[in-house]
Structures are given as C-alpha cells and as structure tokens.
Chains A and B, each alone.
Chain A
Amino acid sequence: MSQPRRTPLYDLHRELGGRMVDFAGWEMPVQYPAGIIAEHTHCRTKAALFDVSHMGQVLVRGAEPATAMERLVPGALQSLKPGQSRYTVFTNEEGGILDDLIVSNAGDHLFVVVNAGCREQDVAHMKAGLADCEVEELTDRGLLALQGPAAAAVLGRLAPEAASLRFMQSALMDVGGVSCRVSRLGYTGEDGFEISVPADWAAKLARTLLAAEEVEPAGLGARDSLRLEAGLSLYGHDIDTTTTPVEAQLAWTIAKRRREEGGFPGAAVIQRQLSQGPARKLVGILPEGRAPAREGTEIRDGQGRSVGRLTSGGFAPSLGRPVALGYVETACAEPDTALELIVRNKPVPARVAALPFVPHRYNR
C-alpha cells in the first residue's frame, strides 16, 4: 500500500484532536474528542463542518457536455438549468452502479463530484467515454461540507449569496474574500452546503467557519450515522456494481425521457426492471431492541427463509436505537413487513421501515 494521502486540512484535523484513519487511501478524521454521538447531534441541532476534500472534483468542458455526459449516466442532464445540481449514478453494461455523483451545470461546463474511493476509476471512465469533451480533475481544491440547521446563517455571514440558494442549487461566489463554488446540498439530510475552495485557502476557510459559535467539527463516523438516518446510500456498501439503480430505490433519478430513450450503459436491464419491477429492493429496517445489526447480517422472512442481507447497519443517535439498510426480495419490501435479522447466530425481530428514518430538512 502506498502512503495514505492528506487533504489540505490534515494539520487542522491533528490540531483539533481528530482520530485519523485510512479511508479510501486518505488519512481522514473518523471523530474528534467530542465523539461521534455529540458530533452527530450537533449537526442535527446547529451546524457541523466536515472535510470532504478526499472526494473527486471534476470539470467537463465541451460543446455539449450535458448531452455527452448522458451517455454515462441515466440521469437527465440536458434539462439541468445553469446553477442547478442533480444526483445521478454511473452505470455499467449490466445496469450495475460504478459510482454515485452530483453533477452541477456551471454554465459553460459541468462540475462533477465523485466518491473518493472511485475517483481514479471515474476520471478514467469519463475520459474514455467523453472523447468529445475535456475532462479535468481538480487536484488543487479542497471541499468542505457545512451541514445543519444553522449552516445557512453561518455561511450567509461570509457569503450573503449562499443564503439565497435553494436545495440543489450551485453558484460561484466570494466566500470570505475567495472565489468558491458553493452548492446547497449534502449527505446528512440537513440543510447545508458543500464549498469547493482553492486548496491554499481551505484551512483558513475551515478555521473561519469553526470560529462561528454554532459550528463544531465532525468526522467520518458522524457523516456515516447521519447519512444512514437520512436513508442515503453509501457507495461500496448499499450500492455497487452488483446493484442497479432500480433495486437501490433510485428510480427517481431516472427521468421519463431517459427511461423511454435509454442511451446509457445497462439501459436494457434498467428499462426491464422499471417496467417489470426488480426482484429485490433496498429498504430501511428497524431491528427490535438495542443491539445494532451490522453490514452483512442475514435477513430472514417471517417463515425463517433467507431473503437478503444488510448493506449498512448501526446505531442512530437521533433515534437512540439501531437502524439498517438492506436488500430484500420484493415480496418483503413493504413497510411494516416482519423480518428476522441473524445477529451473532440469534434471530432478532425486525420490520421494514419507510425511509428516511429521520426526515430530511432541505431548503427546497
């Protein structure tokens, strides 16, 4: 293994007492001294600052970048207006998911954010599939996520324009004297922003945000518990090359025109699943009792028959109870269906739950 990479905030993480772990080849804070539950709760009640500089930031330029990019994803990008952002996935020929991503229409080009673990592969995939475009990975920028009900007030003090963005809108703006791309979105279920900032300025901006009385730093542990409560999939766990967007309950990301026209990798598989229904679905699951049921746990139906496995599972700090995501046979996917989870060789009663576990509070 090569040395893990460090983000522009590495020194700040150490200074703040972050417990550093290797995540997708990056040395990242899993938590700070406050601990995961306190960081999680702070994000739900005030605002938390996450370093997500390990994620890939990519520009796609060309005559028709949205039209070109539609060859790689089932999302509708031609209808994406300037200043709007959209969640979509890269699919393979089998309809499996290569990665999930956010595409923003930046006027004359697209601004794309991909997962850290898929970064190199995604850039190669885009360069190969978008020969008519210029694909540029930005390696000199940090990415900060400011999330929580107080995020808009905090960022609005530095960048008044930010407060007027709606959910899934993105704009270039001056943030504390530096030009940044600010997008109103995130991975916590809360209102919030992702700020693409020149690497040289990332630590300074982070310190400025942390100086706000409402803001505390949060690590990858809280990021995971927040997204799980929000019912948001984690690539490599809930979605991967063996799961399709239809199975993963991401059919909402595929607009009518794309369903009809196809023209993306795996379209035949995905169109068939859209019309006939998938054999299995990703669902929320609430285990009874206090024991968390983890990724890989076998799921059985009321008759003791194996019907799937958990893909994420843990403790939900906002609910004070365990929650999980997993794929089950479609017959078992209705909310309130009784299931059993096999935890340490013992069956734990559970039921299917509507997602999200904790309501989203976006600024729509």
Chain B
Amino acid sequence: MALYFTKDHEWLKVEGDIATVGISQHAQEQLGDVVFVEVPEAGKSLSKGDEAAVVESVKAASEVYAPVSGEVVEANEALADQPGLVNEDAEGGAWFFKLRLADKGELEGLMDRDAYQAFVDSLD
C-alpha cells in the first residue's frame, strides 16, 4: 500500500489498482465545520482534474478534483448523513471514493507525506 498527496490537499491510498481518495487533515482544518458532502456515483468515469466531489463548510463550498483518472468503484455514502466525519477522521473513515486506476503512471509526481507536509508548511 502506498500513500500519496496532491497540491489540492487530497490523499490517495493505493492498493493494487484501486485508489481510495479523501481530503487531508490540513484541508479539513482549513475548511472548518463540514456540513455537506456530495460524492460521485459508482460507475462514473473521471479524468484527472475533473470535479469529483463537493465538500461544504458553514462558510463556503469547495470542489474535490479527481487526482488521477479512473472509474469510481465505490463512494462513501456515510458522508451524506455524517458530513462532520470529515472533521473527525479526514484521513481515515471519511474517505470520499475509490477509483480503479486508469493509468498508474499518473501517480508519479504526487507527493509522499513528508513532501506534502513540506508543501503545507510552505503555504504559511
């Protein structure tokens, strides 16, 4: 299993050809109280950079982009009823969706945790 992060503050856990995608702890902190999440339907085909999900805090709506291309194989339906799970467990139970990777080569260029942490620190 490999863990990657993007500059859009998403994380991907890759097992075989399946990537589980969510938003980072840092993203969760920046959003504040999450009150609404919309996840993509299973079967939907996403290209890298497509709008894949929506996450809304009290203040504002944000898009979650597909960090890599692939077909949605499962979405975390629990987030519809419990959007606050994103605040409680952003990098665990509050995963957004799982993708069957179309091109594993797209994982190259994503950051590991240390590189992502350095990226976040550079934003302050």
A residues lining the B interface (CB < 8 Å):
30-31, 35-37, 40, 221, 224-225, 290-292, 294, 314-315, 317, 322, 344
Contacts and interface: CB of A to CB of B under 8 A. Distances in A.
A297 B71 CA distance: 30
B36 A294 contact: no
5 contacts: A224-B59, A225-B58, A292-B35, A315-B36, A322-B36
Contact of A37 (B33, B56, B60, B61): B33
Interface string B39-67: 00000000000000010111111000000
A290 B81 CA distance: 9
Given A221-B59, A315-B58, A290 B32 contact: no
Contacts of A36: 32-33, 57-59
B51 to A, nearest CB: 9
Nearest to A291: B36
A291 B56 contact: yes
A166 B27 CA distance: 44
Contacts of A37: 33, 35, 58
A40 B35 CA distance: 14
B22 interface: no
Contacts of B61: 292, 294
Sort A-B residue pairs by CB-CB distance and give the 5 closest, nearest first: A315-B35, A36-B58, A37-B33, A35-B33, A315-B58
Contacts, number: 41
Given A290-B35, A292-B35, A315-B36, A344 B54 contact: yes
Nearest to B80: A290
Given A315-B56, A317-B58, A344-B54, A290 B33 contact: no
A88 B56 CA distance: 34
A32 B111 CA distance: 30
B89 to A, nearest CB: 16
A31 B56 CA distance: 16
Contacts of A292: 35-36, 56, 61
Contacts of B83: 290
Interface of B: 32-33, 35-36, 38, 54, 56-61, 80, 83
B36 A30 contact: no
Contacts of B38: 291
Contacts of B56: 291-292, 315
A221 B59 CA distance: 7
A221 B31 CA distance: 12
A180 B32 CA distance: 35
Nearest to A290: B36
- Specify the main secondary structure of chain A where it touches its partner: mixed
Contacts of B59: 30, 36, 221, 224, 314
Contacts of B60: 294
B117 to A, nearest CB: 20
A221 to B, nearest CB: 6
Contacts of B36: 290-292, 315, 322
B54 A221 contact: no
Nearest to A36: B58
Contacts of B80: 290
Contacts of B33: 35-37
A221 B35 contact: no
Contacts of B35: 37, 290, 292, 315
A322 B80 CA distance: 14
B81 to A, nearest CB: 9
A140 to B, nearest CB: 32
Nearest to A292: B56
A191 B83 CA distance: 31
Contacts of A224: 59
Nearest to A293: B61
Nearest to A37: B33
A314 B54 contact: no
Residue among B38, B57, B59, B83 having the largest count of chain A Cβ atoms under 10 Å: B59
A121 to B, nearest CB: 26
